[in-house]
Structure 1
Amino acid sequence: MDKDKMSVFPAGEKNDAYAKYFTGQSYLNMLSTEQVVIGNVTFEPGCRNNWHIHHAKSGGGQILLVTAGRGYYQEWGKPARAISAGDVVNIPAGVKHWHGAAKDSWFAHLAVEVPAEEGHTEWLEPVSEDEYGSLA
């Protein structure tokens, strides 16, 4: 599959700056760094990010706008849910979660950073192979 033809937004370059927080290969194309930060994140099949939390004193969190493929989103202590093109995921600040591609599908989403006071992301442990491997 041509990663740049999955979506109207080009996939961008290999996401080397954040590679240590991903299992597998992802690509990042920053669409906006002003007013509201929006990145197009593309995941090769099987790629997912580590568990992480978007912290903020006020505001904050993240919105995922799924543009292509099939993937998963999971909050800590809850079952993973399948997501696909057209789905919207609202992630409140302070919620431990991960997201990424299904084993057999490319996956892309726009990651919208909700404006925050003193916002930052805390990257945590990788999603275990057992956790990920149990997904359909």
Structure 2
Amino acid sequence: MNPVVVYVVAPLLIGVVYAVLMSLIREPHRRTFNAIMVAGAGAAYLSGGGLGGWEYLFTALITYCAFRGLNSWTFIGIAWLLHTIADVLHHLKGHPIVPFAHNSSLGCAVCDPVIALWCLRGGPDLLAFIRRRSSGQPSELVH
């Protein structure tokens, strides 16, 4: 299979699918759920990411952002961007997020900014946006 599809297109689509599926959860639960999700993602490398004590510092920083994200989509977006940095570092110098998939951290580094951008937009309901577009109504994103 084409490497561009595997390492770029598929992770981008995963990020979009994540945001669309999150639209099934109504606010304010959507924001709370996403804060919990990014906190879990922030701890993903703790079982042996290969970057030593920096793993704990990075996890603490992402956890702080996730906690602040309980009340702020912006902090959830920042946490996903921090996780993107961790993904890049692990792809280049550490161990992959999925031990048996060598380029899994690279895929994560492509997917996570998509999720971050959605969060920085306030985690809008994409399903409502799609419904409005298909019905001919104005296509403003709905929170």
TM-score band by shorter chain is under 0.3
- CA radius of gyration, larger in: 2
TM-score, L = length of structure 1: 0.27
Structure that is richer in helix per residue: 2
Q: Could you say which structure has the higher strand fraction?
A: 1
TM-score by length of 2: 0.26
